[in-house]
């Protein structure tokens, strides 16, 4: 059966989820996650896309990406999956497919502020939902760049975040309040990548 074609549009943001083959926990090692960050930097230099959110879990990764051109998205993901698979297979002394064959992709328009905020919260809430952390801060997530306005050298703030206040500090404070409304049921009750629940503002 042929794959259903993806509908991609320039200017949209895309919530991408990619999983380890057989959902194995191959990203548990810190050095693997650090290599992943290096690969993302290489991809950013090569394709000049916007990375709004990132969370590297033990067996899957979440991104929120806006490619410069819609046709760049498959190229970005092919590069990231190829490069990291090559590195990880060497590091872990394994062969074969490292990633599942197809990544999940869920896009939305730049005007959909509600969807953007919910997607950011969903991605950043993954470590908490998985009971890896009590809160949102996590070494391999860019949540801190939103709450503490830090610069991780890879990601940037989504325009929806910059509409939350008149100053960056106000945006960060309002984003914190929004994230504190995160419920574990919010994550359990839906499939990965869907972001259609209400923002609660």
Outline where DSSP puts E strands in the chain.
13-19, 50-56, 60-66, 104-108
Whole-angstrom distance, CA of residue 91 vs CA of residue 143: 28
Q: Output the pLDDT for position 101.
A: 82
Q: Output the pLDDT for position 186.
A: 53
**Residue appearing with tokens 């990231």:** 80
Residue 196 to residues 123, 160, 175, Cα–Cα distance (Å): 14, 16, 18
Q: Which two tokens stand for residue 137?
A: 């801060």
Q: Output the pLDDT for position 35.
A: 96
Contact 154, 54 (CB under 8 A): yes
* CB atoms inside a 10 Å sphere around CB 5: 6
Outline where DSSP puts E strands in 101-153.
104-108
pLDDT tens for each residue of the chain, 201 residues long: 456 678 899 999 999 999 999 989 999 999 999 999 999 999 999 999 999 999 999 999 999 999 999 999 999 999 999 999 999 999 999 999 999 988 999 999 999 999 999 999 999 999 998 888 888 999 999 999 999 999 999 999 999 999 999 999 999 999 999 998 877 555 543 433 333 323 332
Contact 199, 108 (CB under 8 A): no
* CB atoms inside a 10 Å sphere around CB 48: 12
Q: Output the pLDDT for position 133.
A: 86
Helices (runs of H) and strands (runs of E) counted in the chain: 8, 4
Instruction: Spell out the residues 6+ positions from residue 96 whose beta carbon is closer than 8 angstroms to its own.
Output: 21, 89
* CB atoms inside a 10 Å sphere around CB 176: 15
Nearest-Å Rg of the Cα atoms of the chain is 16
CATH 3.30.70.1290 fits 13-188, yes or no: yes
**Residue appearing with tokens 């990619």:** 18
Contact 103, 62 (CB under 8 A): no
Q: Output the pLDDT for position 197.
A: 29
């Amino acid at each position: 059966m042929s794959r259903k074609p993806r509908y991609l549009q320039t200017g949209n943001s895309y919530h991408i989820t990619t999983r380890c083959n057989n959902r194995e926990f191959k990203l548990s090692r810190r050095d693997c996650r650090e290599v992943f960050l290096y690969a993302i930097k290489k991809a950013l230099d090569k394709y000049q896309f916007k990375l709004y959110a990132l969370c590297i879990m033990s067996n899957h990764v979440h991104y929120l990406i806006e490619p410069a051109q819609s046709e760049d998205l498959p190229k970005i993901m092919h590069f990231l999956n190829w490069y990291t698979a090559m590195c990880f297979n060497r590091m872990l002394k394994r062969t074969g497919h490292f990633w599942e064959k197809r990544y999940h992709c869920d896009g939305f328009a730049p005007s959909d502020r509600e969807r953007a905020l919910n997607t950011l919260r969903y991605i950043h809430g993954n470590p908490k939902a998985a009971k890896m952390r009590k809160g949102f801060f996590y070494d391999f997530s860019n949540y801190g760049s939103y709450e503490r306005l830090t610069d991780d050298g890879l990601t940037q703030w989504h325009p929806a975040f910059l509409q939350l206040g008149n100053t960056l500090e106000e945006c960060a404070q309002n984003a914190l309040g929004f994230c504190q409304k995160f419920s574990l049921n919010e994550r359990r009750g839906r499939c990965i990548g869907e972001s259609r629940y209400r923002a609660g503002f």
